[in-house]
Structure 1
Amino acid sequence: MSESMIEVRGLSKKFCHNLKRSLWYGVKDIGSELIGSKKERNTLRKDEFWALKDVDFDIKRGELFGLIGPNGAGKTTLLKLLSGIIKPDQGEIIVRGKLQALIALGAGFNPILTGRENIYVNGAVLGFSKTEMDQLIEEIQDFSEIGDFLDMPVRSYSSGMHVRLGFSVAVNLRPDILLVDEVLAVGDAAFKRKARNKMMELLHSGISVLFVSHSLALITSLTSQCMYLKRGLVEAIGPSETVTSQYLNDSLIEYKATESTPEYYMTSAYLTTPEFIVENVLFFDDTGNICNEFSSFDDLKIRFEFRCKKPMENISFALSIRDQVNDVIISSSKLSNLKQSLSGSVAIECTIIRNNLREGWYHLGFYAADLYGPLYKSHSVSSFKILGDMATIEKSVSSLGYVIMDTQWHTE
């Protein structure tokens, strides 16, 4: 059996809504702890609430473990408990190995010290010797790309330099356990690519990872097991596809969605011009029949029918697909760019090859523009449903990509 790098049993943490009362409770608890009479409290005092209650889970060596849940679910509290920033009120946390948290990048830097000195301090906190840090310092400096600023006080850094150095320190100290909380978008565009590549390298290097994200596509693709927190309680824990599906279903209930298209998406186009009118949007299955229900991995053909009231040239088109909670799953600006003049009734078709969408409703957005600006723009010109689940999808970065191809053009 694989060794558990993190074991959590009966973990609970409570907070107080009232600041003054919270301070008073803190003083009383510290006093009780000093005289050795503090007891675990299973009941709440006035204005207290459970931020986490009876949480149990394990993360094995080399496992990528996901954590999802709405805002206020207790995700940040759990990360702080695992990092040792705050103490639990009940339960036990066992951590085996060096743990590094990519949460608030650079938050622990001393502004008076130089970047180099802060790197050594961070390494010492994690248990690295000076000799070990001497071997890593050049790699950290090169990755951060801050050059000679490494020997200047951190207080003189721009916010971007501060974050870049924090990320570089976190990912290059080679921890046994990594806590990642939505930090894949740091720095400028070039550094973002570099940061994502480094993260993928870490994720495949055999370290244990707890990955927190609101992107269910990333969670499903990168992690094998997942835990869903809601109001401090564990709603589900298990295979990522199953748990994220439950989270989506719960989100639909929260938004009072029904089997039909939600009222939010039935609104008309929010940008249109009198000369360009979308008359119909149709979906076709593999046999050419019109339908709006498909299975995962089916080819999904979409036909847009519109009318140009006057000749138009150089029209470009794009589409987007949003899931049940309005997250953009597909966004393409490369659907087409027609050079010929269009007038009258026009139909365009495109095919999404072997869609890898999970079960549920999806909403199709459509965009058209010419050289003078937008002609039509809507988040939801139509909707379709995917049947089945994602259990058979291979976990790879490539599963995040969606290919739009076989586009055909017809002028009627």
Structure 2
Amino acid sequence: MKVLLLGSGGREHALAWKLAQSPRLTTLFALPGNPGIARYARCLEGIPLTDHDAIVTVCGAEDIDLVVVGPEAPLVDGIADRLTAEGIPVFGPKQVAAQLEGSKLFTKELCKAHNIPTAAFGRFAEPAGARAFIEAQGAPIVLKADGLMAGKGVIVAMTLDEALAAVDEVFAMGVPGTEILIEEFLEGEEVSFFCLVDGETVLPFGSAQDHKRAFDGDQGPNTGGMGAYSPAPVFTPEIERRTLAEIVKPTARALADAEAEFRGVLFAGLMITSAGPKLIEYNVRFGDPECQVLLRRLDGDLLALLEATANGRLAGHDVTFRDDAALAIVMATRGYPGDYGKGSVIAGLDEADAVEGVTVFHAGTRLIGDRLTAHGGRVLNITALGTDVREARARAYEAVSLIDWPEGFCRTDIAWRALKL
């Protein structure tokens, strides 16, 4: 099979790494790719992911059998609709189903209509109504901008004054004229749960726990993710059973009944409360860096699973994971998630990759001549396997210590929940 992978981050590097292991793969193309992905794929630069016509042209010129969409923005923008209309199989949902991530309001209303457990909420088009709701509900409380916010459109306000002061900020985050969401604060432990969905069949694809805050101790601003580990100890078989029965399967049925069937990976961000799992949000793609730890643990042929999902033939397939734990540490450019510089030189990756159980995925790198440079906020994903989370963590941090990049930083407490650090 000839496969085109869309995207350029650490998630896409992990997908390329795993797809390249498939005996079904003949050629892998990546658009645009990155220096790490280039080890496995022919990278096609110069075509923006917003240029759907150009992507269709590439598929025709290269006889592409399957397109795998890494990031969420092209899906929300309708790339799956365009490819499907041309008869090109695509792993990723069409635009209407991609609203699960593209619009928090869409997802909350779907939950309300189908009794899917989630936080109580209100939606507001102007600040006065939002402040009145906050004063009535009290704090802590959660404020969210609608739309794609790259993990940064959420403010968890722990006091009433903080919540009231955040209203204007959250309105400013979103597209002018759109509503904002104000939610009940849920207490518990967060988990990321993934399922492959082909419209009808729902196939569990593992759990992970992410670290959203920039600094140790879950301090600082929200980011796109500073580390992850899999499996999530809190996500027990009983919690998984309830999540499938009460949240994921009802969602898939609701979309199918509305002639908006979902085909791709459905990522449920959950809070495990004293009353059981509740949905925080949906994403319509593999998480980042959750994808990296899931794929380090995956046994078997990823390409076969993605092809079956895209073509509505997932029934009868199984997903098998190694018993090992996997952990990822994100190295970011100093200043992230605020302003940061570009072009700093990174060395020592070969030494880091040589540590037992370690694979380094590129997330925001660029080759300038023969020098690897940082060209993003989140730049490297140092992943490791181990017999348990503690061993995986030790290997990953050993690899971090071998990377020569003074302009980079990482959290030093990844997996603190699992290890009670």
Superposition TM-score, scaled by structure 2 size: 0.28
Task: Compare the two structures and name the one with the higher strand fraction.
Answer: 1
Task: Compare the two structures and name the one with the higher helix fraction.
Answer: 2
Is the radius of gyration larger for structure 1 or structure 2? 1
Higher relative contact order (CA 8 A, sep 6+): 2
Superposition TM-score, scaled by structure 1 size: 0.29
